[in-house]
Amino acid sequence: MKYNNPWVVYWNKDNIWSRSTFWRRQMEVFVRLTADVMDYNANDKVLDFGCGSGNFAEITADKIGSILCADMSENYVSICANKFSEVANVSVVRVNPDLSDLTSLGSGFTKVICFSVMHYFPDLDYVTRFIKDVQQIAVPGTKLLIGDIGNNNRTWIDNFRALTFTLREGMFVDALKLIARIWLVDPNYRKIKQGGDSYLSIPDTYLMELGAELGVKVTNVETQLTVNANYKHVLIEY
């Protein structure tokens, strides 16, 4: 299974998201809004798949038994390795883009986070492979939270909801700074985004149907958890 995607090249290099105060703040809000559902605790063994620059681990390490930060990007793995070099309960690993080593990351994971990642997957077969592989390294009752599943459809209502979200959560100024940096500093991001269908289209019923096939519970989280009002969030319980 190959992963030929322009986003892989983009994330593997230094980019504006690595040091984004807005994206760090967004993760803080996401963790807070999902705290009741995920119930992170000292007994948890958590896999953060697509960890990026490690925002999730930075925010939750003091509440969780152990966290494995996993990413395909050498850039992000390097950032996280330096950031958590002296944090005993956080480890970092680079995973192969073809998912060939996902099931070798260990076992006994009680929670899995996949935040703002799935829409970068190359196809639906890859989505299926990921969810099946997570089942192999999970324990009964493990929760997989797939947050911020992107799509290419945004309406003016979504833009309005995004604006009100940033104002309500105190993210408005950071959002403006990020938009300015996208336009002034990072033309590669805009180029990929404007290059047609930049995100994988995941049908609304796909994960539900896959869950029924695997015998796991799939729940659509209806609450707006991020600035991306048109994005979806799904909880899978193994």
232-237 vs 138-149, strand pairing mode: antiparallel
* pLDDT of res. 196: 59
Nearest CA-CA partner of 237 in 98, 139, 118:
139
**CA 90-86-79 angle, 5° bins:** 70
How far is the C-alpha of 21 from the C-alpha of 73, rounded, in Å? 20
Listed residue (108, 102, 114) closest to 145, CA to CA: 114
pTM of the model: 0.94
Digitized pLDDT (tens) for each residue of the chain, 238 residues in all? 456 678 888 998 889 998 899 999 999 999 999 999 999 999 999 999 999 999 999 999 999 999 999 999 999 999 999 999 999 999 999 999 888 889 999 999 999 999 999 999 989 999 999 999 999 999 999 999 999 998 878 899 999 999 999 999 999 999 999 999 998 988 888 888 776 567 898 998 999 999 999 999 999 999 999 999 999 999 999 9
What is the C-alpha to C-alpha distance for residues 121 and 156, in angstroms, rounded to an integer?
Answer: 27
Q: How far apart are CA 83 and CA 228, in angstroms?
A: 27
What pLDDT, on a 0 to 100 scale, did the predictor assign at position 236? Answer: 98
Go through the domains of the chain in sequence order and give each one's CATH number: 6-237 (3.40.50.150)
